Structure 1
Amino acid sequence: MSLKFVPRRSEERGNADHGWLKTFHTFSFAMYQDSKHELYGPLRVINEDRVAPRTGFGTHSHREFEIFSYVVSGELEHKDSMGNTEVLKRGDVQLTSAGTGISHSEKTYGSKQVHFLQIWSLPSTARLTPKYFTRHFSDEEKADKWVRIVAPVGAEGVLATREGEGPAPVQSPLTLYSTLLGAGKTLERPLEGKKGYIHVVQTSGYNEGPGKGASVRISSKGSEELTLREGDGAYILVEKGANPLVVENSGDSTAEILVFDLD
């Protein structure tokens, strides 16, 4: 059985340049609204944000979302109403289970811009007690390998501790894998859920036009191939018993890639 790919090109994402914030929205968010891109399974938000030094998102509130930040470069200072204060660096993943409600701020720490992905998913259970988790995954761990960085509570190897080894625990049917795939390298990733989503991180710089930088080719036995550049993504429709997703770095630079396995 094959996989079906529907491209989500970088230049088609919602986009805003506020000066202090340069952002892309894969799904409807803030002033960007598109009924064709509201959510995908439990996945509700993928924002690729670049925040200028000495600026950021002031204190604001959330509830009933699982909110995680994936830091690409720079440093991000997080403060919240649960008493957590932390500076997140490259390789860090921070997950807040907002549940019945939290307030937090996210600001650039230091003199360099911070580039991070803010991802939200819908929890399987409402009115949860808010919780906070952090994990770190080094570039060495992700080099030409899939690393499971977020996984459902109760899944094998998932510890509900604030810090520690293994993936951060999410209250959604969502598993997130990350890799740094070198030029000419290929990885397979079986998808166990009903849907998937792949995103190529825009590591080479902010670009409002068609994707540039790293190039990857995705395929599956019996499926048509699709080429993605930085900032591009693709919806993946998974038939029961489908063949694994195959990701090949078809360019000449390392590609930072996220794959969501969704039920």
Structure 2
Amino acid sequence: MSAEKVKLIPRPSHERGHADHGWLKTFHTFAFAAYTDWNHMQFGSLRVINEDRVEPHTGFGTHGHREFEIFSYVVAGELQHKDSMGNVEVLKRGDLQMTSAGTGIRHSEHSHGDKQVHFLQIWAQPGQSGLKPQYFTRHFTDDEKKDRWAKIVAPLGDDDVSTDREAAGAAPVHAPLALYASLVSPGRAVAHTAQRHKAYLHLIQTSGYNPGNATGGAVTVSVAGQQTTLREGDGCYVHLTPGVEIKVENTGDRIAEVVLFDLE
């Protein structure tokens, strides 16, 4: 694929939607709550990426959702999840929970313990409506992500995706979307061959809360001869065709925690 047909569109961290509620510090990649930006409403089936920090002993009270696939990826601290399906769970670093809201669920999420919890809240639009609500949980160690991609979410029906509530491997999602995570060491690179026509990359803000210009770790994203550099909190839209390689090289001085969405 020629470089002219590939598009890399940076999403700088400081341009994301942002709110500081005291108990919650949050960034919105896409329009969410009071943040509206018609240029960043969603990307394919990906509707929400919120990077949230919730202070100890606080959180999101019980509220409802329907017709979304909602998953949380815990970066640091502990997140307590409760829902109307009877699931009660404390999620720690490396844990991922997937709630297929379907016809409707109610849930709450709170910081657990005496430390702030830092996590990504992600929503995808399902490929069909009226699904039965379901809950899945998965755990991935840092070693599984060190200098390689760990597939942590994948479309239901993929050969390596289990529909068990708890299992090894990726959590199932009712959308044309796969999510990969990696911890890339300085000087190392990881590559992914795109399976679909879009990708979105996000470099997690692991060095600490920063509403200003992105600092901290750095990676360079290369696709078909085009490049862009991301710092912590930055993201990048990618338009491409299946089979094209996406390379992520750590060009900074610390481990970079990166997530990559491969989607339609």
TM-score by length of 1: 0.98
1:18 aligns with 2:21: yes
Report what 1:245 is aligned to. Answer: 246
| Structure 2 CA distance for aligned equivalents of residues 216 and 247 of structure 1 | 6
| Alignment-mate amino acid for residue 261 of structure 1 | D
1:230 aligns with 2:232: yes
1:162-241 aligned at under 5 Å gives the runs 162-222=165-225, 224-239=226-241, 241=243
1:156 Cα deviation after fit: 1.7
1:131 aligns with 2:140: no
1:5-154 aligned at under 5 Å gives the runs 5-154=8-157
1:239 Cα deviation after fit: 3.1
Residues 1-10 or 101-110, more deviating: 1-10
Q: Which runs of 4+ in 1 moved over 6 A?
A: none
Q: Does the aligned pair in 1 maintain the 2:124–2:175 contact within 8 Å?
A: yes
Query: CA-to-partner distance for each residue in 1:117-139, whole Å, 9 max, x for gaps?
Result: 00000000100000000000000
| Alignment-mate amino acid for residue 222 of structure 2 | S
| Alignment-mate amino acid for residue 135 of structure 1 | R
Structure 2 residue ranges without an equivalent (≥5): none
1:225 Cα deviation after fit: 1.1
Query: CA-to-partner distance for each residue in 1:152-171, whole Å, 9 max, x for gaps?
Result: 00012000010011100000
| Structure 2 CA distance for aligned equivalents of residues 43 and 37 of structure 1 | 11
| Structure 2 CA distance for aligned equivalents of residues 208 and 97 of structure 1 | 31
| Structure 2 CA distance for aligned equivalents of residues 79 and 225 of structure 1 | 42
- Percent of pairs with identical residues: 60
Query: CA-to-partner distance for each residue in 1:46-69, whole Å, 9 max, x for gaps?
Result: 000000000000000000000000
SS for the counterpart of 2:86 is coil
SS for the counterpart of 1:225 is strand
Query: CA-to-partner distance for each residue in 1:212-261, whole Å, 9 max, x for gaps?
Result: 11100011233x210000000000001355x3001100001000000000
Structure 1 residue ranges without an equivalent (≥5): none
1:192 Cα deviation after fit: 1.1
Aligned residues: 261
| Structure 2 CA distance for aligned equivalents of residues 16 and 255 of structure 1 | 24
| Structure 2 CA distance for aligned equivalents of residues 253 and 79 of structure 1 | 35
SS for the counterpart of 1:141 is helix
Q: What is the RMSD of the two structures over their aligned residues, measured on CA atoms?
A: 0.8
| Structure 2 CA distance for aligned equivalents of residues 39 and 181 of structure 1 | 27
| Structure 2 CA distance for aligned equivalents of residues 43 and 31 of structure 1 | 19
